[in-house]
Every structure is written in C-alpha cells, then in structure tokens.
Amino acid sequence: MRTPHLAIKTADPESFHLEVTVDNEAQQTPFNLYSDAGQLEALVEISVTPDTEVFNDLCGTRNIEYHVWEESSKSRRSTLHDMVASKPGTWSFKRKIELNEEYGNLCWSVVAVSKAADPIATVEKASGIILGQSEDFLIGIDSPIEKSGNFLKIKWRKFEEHFPSAKHNMFRLETDPSLVLYLNSSVDGLYSLLTTAKRGMRRDMKKSIFAMIKMDVWQSLISKATIDLSRALEVRRSMGDDLDLAFEDLADWQFKILRHWGPRIHFGLEGDAWRQHMIDSVRESHSAYLSIIGAIVQRDVHISSEFERVIMNQAEG
C-alpha cells in the first residue's frame, strides 16, 4: 500500500474535534491506567466529528477516510486502525486494552486521508493525501493511582476471581509475606473513580473514599503491630530484658508503622521518648490504647472534613 503524502495545506488539529472515552467516560490527555489489575480490561473509544467546512475546502466532494494512528513507546509498535461512521458526521474506533498484557505509553491520533482518485486533481486533492492530523492523546499504562510509600503496595484485583469469599468488599489488606493493599476492580465504578476523578464532586468523593480506606488500613496495621509488640514485651519481661528491646523483635514493617505513628500518638515528646510511653500504654490496656489511636488516625486523615465537603456538593448538585 502506498504511503499517503502530506498535503501542502492541511486542517488544524482542532478541526477534528477529537473525543476519547475510557469505559464510556470522557477523558483528557494524558490519561493513566494501572496495569497491576488482574484481568481488568479498559475499553477505549476514539471519535471525531470533523469540521465539514474545513475538510470540504481541502477535499471538495471527494470522500475522506479517517484512521487512528496508534504508537506504543515500549513495545515499539505502530498500527493504523480504520474508523467507521458511527453516526452522521462522526467517525469512531474502539479497542479493548488488556491491562495485564499492555504496558508503556500509547499515543493515539486521528489522520484524515483523501480517498477518491482523480488524475487531473491538484496535489491537495489527489488520492492518498493526508489532509490533517488531530492532536495526540496519550494513555500511560503502569502508572499507580498513588505512591506506594515506604512499606505498603497497592494493587488492583477482581475479588470475585482472586478472593471469592470477599468478592463484595472494597479492599483487602494482607500482611504476609509483605504488605499489600488490594482494591476490588469488580466494584462498579470504583476503578474509574479512584483513577480518573480530578474535579468537582467526583474528586471529593475520591478523596473521601481514600480517607476511609486509609483510616481502616492504618488502624488495622497499628493494631497488628501493637498486638505483636504486646507479646514481645511479655517475652522480654519474662527474660528480664530491657523492654525497649521488644521493638527489635517486630517485623520491619511493624516497626516502621510504629515509628511513623508513635510521635503523632504521643505528641510533644522529644526524640524516641514516645517508645517508653507506647510501652506503658500497651501494657496498661491495649484495647483502650487502640481506641485513642483510632481517634488520632481519623483526625490525621481528615476524613470528617472530606465527608462534609461531599455532602455539601451533593446538596448543591
């Protein structure tokens, strides 16, 4: 097939009126998808509604073909896809992305090519001439929804396949052999909300959901760490050792958790003075200590203010 040539005069990218949806929701470039999501799929639809006046001026009554040009940075693949007329004046192309197979950056754009041959036409109106190219739309695959931090990784999974007994849960926390927070991609709308919401009520809802998840996760991690600290303290006490050595008996992630929250729970103390206060509190009443921690975690993640904002936006909407 002969490669189309670029016309001397071409349409502006804006005249294509490019629209891209991912799973039926309109998106803006650049857009990120998280590849660590089990069998999660994403349906991408690219459509254009070209400015007829602009393209008629370039090509007259001759037909125009519209194609999607797809380039992959990491796999070094370039593909030209045909678009079809989805409705009068609009051309579309759909492609399903398998997030456990695709990776890297996918760059999409639409090119308009004159179709009908005319041996006496000017160069701008000859067959196989590119009449214009839309702006690029970039989809980045393998971009996490938020940084994993020093001791917690975040992964997407379809719970109905990976964790059937918890298929209706929003998230699942595992601590062995490493700390992993699994988010349920089977929950209707959750993946789209947490990965795409950038403004308005959806953004506030995203932040409040993250706040709820963070509060439960922090409390679960702190509870597990302090339970093991309590056991280690008893062992050290029975051996007549310095109780502070119990911190050395904890798993690495447990010590990091307590080192992160210790100064926040026992506010105003200098250096590692929080360690002795934590030892005393855990030995006195572990359950009462967890109640105090719960209130501090809730304050720290600002969950109350986020819910207030969501409720206000819901009322205004």
Same domain, 134 and 246: no
What share of residues in the chain are helix, strand, coil (percent, to 5)? 40, 30, 30
Q: Looking at the domain assignment, is residue 308 inside a domain?
A: no
Same domain, 128 and 226: no
Q: Which of 141, 172, 194 is the last residue of a domain?
A: 141
pLDDT in tens, 83-92: 999 888 899 9
What does the pLDDT read at residue 131? 82
Overall average pLDDT of the 112-122 stretch: 60
Chain position carrying tokens 């992630």: 253
What does the pLDDT read at residue 277? 92
Same domain, 16 and 132: yes
Q: Looking at the domain assignment, is residue 127 inside a domain?
A: yes
Same domain, 136 and 230: no
What does the pLDDT read at residue 132? 85
Overall average pLDDT of the 183-205 stretch: 74
Same domain, 11 and 123: yes
Residue 223 has φ and ψ, to the nearest 5°, of: -60, -45
Tokens of 55: 């393209």
Overall average pLDDT of the 11-32 stretch: 85
Same domain, 22 and 133: yes
Same domain, 134 and 10: yes
Q: Looking at the domain assignment, is residue 76 inside a domain?
A: yes
Q: Looking at the domain assignment, is residue 182 inside a domain?
A: no
31 compared with 184, residue with greater pLDDT? 184
Chain position carrying tokens 């062992």: 235
What does the pLDDT read at residue 16? 92
Spatial CA neighbour of 66 closest among 76, 80, 78? 80
pLDDT of residue 61 exceeding 90, the answer is no
State how many domains the chain has: 2
42 three-state secondary structure: strand
Structural domain range at position 293: 216-300
Chain position carrying tokens 């799929």: 41
pLDDT of residue 293 exceeding 70, the answer is yes
Q: Looking at the domain assignment, is residue 116 inside a domain?
A: yes
Q: How confident is the model at residue 74 (pLDDT cuts 50, 70, 90)?
A: low
Q: Looking at the domain assignment, is residue 314 inside a domain?
A: no
List C-alpha distances in Å: 170 to 132, 190, 210. Answer: 45, 8, 11
Q: Torsion-angle region of residue 52: left (phi > 0), alpha (psi -120 to 50) or beta?
A: alpha
Cα separation, 59 vs 121, in Å, equals 10
Same domain, 220 and 124: no
What does the pLDDT read at residue 35? 55
pLDDT of residue 169 exceeding 80, the answer is yes
Q: Looking at the domain assignment, is residue 65 inside a domain?
A: yes
Q: Looking at the domain assignment, is residue 191 inside a domain?
A: no
Work out the percent of the chain whose per-residue pLDDT is above 70. 76
pLDDT of residue 261 exceeding 80, the answer is yes
Q: What is the reported pTM?
A: 0.49
Same domain, 41 and 130: yes
128 three-state secondary structure: coil
Overall average pLDDT of the 237-263 stretch: 89
Chain position carrying tokens 């005393």: 280
What does the pLDDT read at residue 315? 40
pLDDT of residue 102 exceeding 90, the answer is no
Q: What is the CATH number of the domain that holds 53?
A: 2.60.40.10
Cα separation, 243 vs 51, in Å, equals 76
Same domain, 111 and 19: yes
Same domain, 133 and 246: no
Same domain, 230 and 134: no
